[in-house]
Structure 1
Amino acid sequence: MSLSEIIAEIEKRAQGRGIGHLQEIRKGLKGLSRSAGNSIFSPQTTFGEKYAYHYGGRGELQFNVGTDKPGMFRHGVAFSFESSRSLPNPEEALLTSVRRFNEFIDLHSAEYSDMSMWEWDRNDRRDSDRPITSIRPNLVRRGMFVFAGKMQPTDSIDLDLIVDDLDRLLAMYQFVEGRDEFPTLIVDTVDVPFRPGCTIKRRYATASLAERILNIDLRHNELQSLLYEELQHEHGENNVTTEWKAATGKVDVVVRPEEGHLWFYEIKTSLSARACIREGLAQILEYSYWLSGIEPEKLFIVGEPRLDPEANQYLARLRERFSIPIEYRQCVLPELR
């Protein structure tokens, strides 16, 4: 398929989806008198068979599709720090958007753990692929192009995947280019059904030893799978689920010990119980007690390290003084070989 044919299919499949209303959304975010048409992309923002970005995206976080590595097609969002007549100083004009992107990712990187990030330095595609993280200051300079999303082989493009991913990235775009004070993902928690099962995520597979030890996302996924198996054995296969939608995000693992009761488990990969508790406590409290949230009966921070006496005493104090039903559970991966 040519790039124009791919774009036509994206537009067609985006109808009725949030991303299909991008120009209407932009109109509200930017205070425009009228929207720039009904389509996501336009001939003016499509450049041969190379790439395209959404109409109006030159000076903002742009939805971008096009060729990337040889034989690969990319889709996702990007910042272009290449100067033009309409954007002579992109590294200054885009600073606020970059800062808001970083804040969004600091809070919601787990929602995009199946995507990657990389950059181009003018016409040089860097071998810099990594999980989506905050954009470092040294990347905000003339000629850089920073991309976040996915790649597919050009001879087997999944168009529905592209539309699904662009739709998922819409929440990021709305915060980055909007004026909201806090980045949130809209989650409807009214009567969320409890569906037992484990969402399959990327695992170690053929990863190198360094990746298996240092890649936080892979290690988290492996711990999530192990914890799911342990809890399923303890509580039954119909009473354990993963990635359960809370008011402000997804809980790693949830147990239903009995009808009407829930236990939340939040996994962290730090090297001490204290660090796991520090990283996970605020997150699990927000999942549990934010407005419109479903309040669980018990909360668990899960980590590989043992619970040392000081950390145990700290949790006991939280339970006693503030009545927070918080506990720690150790979950240890088999020794890596």
Structure 2
Amino acid sequence: MSPSPIFDESADWSSRDARIARLHTLIDELEGLAERYEISGLQARRKAIKGLRSAPREIFAVRKRTKDWAFHRGGRGELQFNAGVDILPNGQHAFRIGVGFSLEASRFFRELELLLPHIARFDDWMAANPDAYPDLAMWHYVDDERSKDYRPGPVDMDFVERALQTRRGFVFLGDRQPLGQVDLDRALGVMDRLLPMWDWIERGLVERTAPAEVGAGGGGTEATGDDAEERLDLTRGRQINPRRWGQATTVQRVIDVELRHAEIQRRLEARLQAEGWAVTVEATIGRRRVDLVARRAGEMRFYEVKVAGSARTCLREAIGQLLEYSLWPGATKPNRLVVVGERALTEKGRAYLRSLATVLSMPLDYEQLTLD
């Protein structure tokens, strides 16, 4: 494939208007070239994952061409593909392309805390793939104070706390090129490399999946169709660090869903082990994970943890996963399924479980485990 450089080296980029005009010209050109790349299917993926009624052709949202940035349609409340005017380490104006989280409140998006589960999954992906993007860079700003570039990795929680306090933060992972010498094939290639991460993060908030390791070929989307791997693997569990909860701030303990989820897993694991169960945390089934698998004296139980405002919501979110893990053809069938949540089960909830017991081929229970 021949490169598609867009040169304009003679322009004077000292004018903000000139830089903004250049950015939107580049985005228009990028949209025209995107059909040769996987990223062209971003909106179709969003439609499938989120159950949207339609999928626009364009990657980027309808733009106010007075802004020096743009993000993909629907990207405000998720990991967003982001393009913008930036600065290279040498001070030269640059074209930025990559992914980021905007922790800046706006008239249309005020509940920044809704991004926390997305950030937590970004962290999980980066922890599983620490060397996936050696040629890219990360940086962030809070209240117009910009960090230096740093090696790609999990998002710094201190940054998240400061950004939530000021409501003016942004973190970015990606590539930059001199604004006058932009190779759009290179830019689209970066977007393609980041697409498996986006897919895993956003798909996983609908159905919890384990982070795929990015190989040299740049693959990484998980199998989710009828032929997905169903073999239960109890040798690749996860160890949860108890210090994460002990060292967490009050804000983190309240709003960080993934932190609360991990602490419930840790306490449940300790309780089951004290009762004589052998426990595997996040046992894998292909590229999906069961939160806990407990075994004792020929009995096996699957536990699914949910952090939600009611036991009813926990049951709604967990039951489908547990049934698929245990009843899909080829799956390992446990003796009991257990949903775990922080809220107490109501009498109507108990009646619901009794009704399910009349149609399910294995017992299904709910257990309350509180952190506060």
TM class by smaller structure: 0.5 to 0.7
| Residues 45 and 171 of structure 1: CA distance in aligned 2, closer, same or farther (over 3 Å) | farther
Amino acid at match of 1:167: G
2:341 match? 303
Amino acid at match of 1:98: Q
2:294 match? 255
Amino acid at match of 1:99: A
Match for residue 310 of structure 2 among 272, 277, 283: 272
The answer for unaligned runs of 5 or more in structure 2 is 7-24, 52-77, 87-95, 104-114, 120-124, 131-136, 139-147, 154-196, 198-211
Match for residue 42 of structure 2 among 97, 105, 112: 97
1:170 match? 219
Amino acid at match of 2:240: I
The separation in 2 between residues aligned to 1:45 and 1:224, in whole angstroms, is 49
| Residues 131 and 271 of structure 1: CA distance in aligned 2, closer, same or farther (over 3 Å) | closer
1:221 match? 262
Alpha carbons 1:257, 1:263 under 8 Å: kept: no
Match for residue 319 of structure 1 among 331, 335, 357: 357
Deviation at 1:103, TM superposition (A): 4.4
1:1-337 superposed matches below 5 A: 83=27, 85=29, 87-88=31-32, 96-100=41-45, 103=48, 117=79, 120-123=82-85, 128=102, 130=115, 133=118, 165-167=213-215, 170-172=219-221, 186-187=228-229, 189=231, 192=233, 194-195=234-235, 198-200=238-240, 203-204=244-245, 206-236=247-277, 239-246=278-285, 249-259=288-298, 261-333=299-371, 335=372
Deviation at 1:209, TM superposition (A): 2.5
The separation in 2 between residues aligned to 1:157 and 1:127, in whole angstroms, is 14
Amino acid at match of 1:128: S
The separation in 1 between residues aligned to 2:328 and 2:301, in whole angstroms, is 16
The separation in 2 between residues aligned to 1:282 and 1:313, in whole angstroms, is 18
Deviation at 1:171, TM superposition (A): 3.6
Alpha carbons 2:230, 2:332 under 8 Å: kept: no
Deviation at 1:331, TM superposition (A): 1.0
Give identity over the alignment, percent.
26
Give the 3-state SS of the residue equivalent to 1:262 in structure 2. strand
TM-score by length of 1: 0.52
The separation in 2 between residues aligned to 1:307 and 1:254, in whole angstroms, is 22
The separation in 2 between residues aligned to 1:123 and 1:156, in whole angstroms, is 20
Amino acid at match of 1:270: A
How much is the aligned-residue C-alpha RMSD, in angstroms?
A: 4.5
Amino acid at match of 1:123: V
Deviation at 1:214, TM superposition (A): 1.8
Deviation at 1:165, TM superposition (A): 4.0
| Residues 45 and 302 of structure 1: CA distance in aligned 2, closer, same or farther (over 3 Å) | farther
Alpha carbons 1:246, 1:288 under 8 Å: kept: no
Deviation at 1:95, TM superposition (A): 6.2
Alpha carbons 1:102, 1:133 under 8 Å: kept: no
Amino acid at match of 2:342: E
Deviation at 1:120, TM superposition (A): 3.6
Deviation at 1:199, TM superposition (A): 2.2
The separation in 1 between residues aligned to 2:42 and 2:236, in whole angstroms, is 39
The separation in 2 between residues aligned to 1:82 and 1:132, in whole angstroms, is 32
| Residues 222 and 102 of structure 1: CA distance in aligned 2, closer, same or farther (over 3 Å) | farther
Amino acid at match of 1:97: L
| Residues 11-63 of structure 1: per-residue CA shift (max 9 Å, x gap) | xxxxxxxxxxxxxxxxxxxxxxxxx7xxxxx9x5999xxxxxxxxxxxxxxxx
Alpha carbons 2:230, 2:330 under 8 Å: kept: no
Amino acid at match of 1:244: A
| Residues 48-95 of structure 1: per-residue CA shift (max 9 Å, x gap) | xxxxxxxxxxxxxxxxxxxxxxxxxxxxxxxxx95364643869x956
Amino acid at match of 1:219: R
Amino acid at match of 1:278: R
The separation in 1 between residues aligned to 2:285 and 2:236, in whole angstroms, is 15
Alpha carbons 2:325, 2:331 under 8 Å: kept: yes
Number of residue pairs matched?
222
The answer for unaligned runs of 5 or more in structure 1 is 1-35, 37-41, 48-80, 107-115, 135-147, 176-181
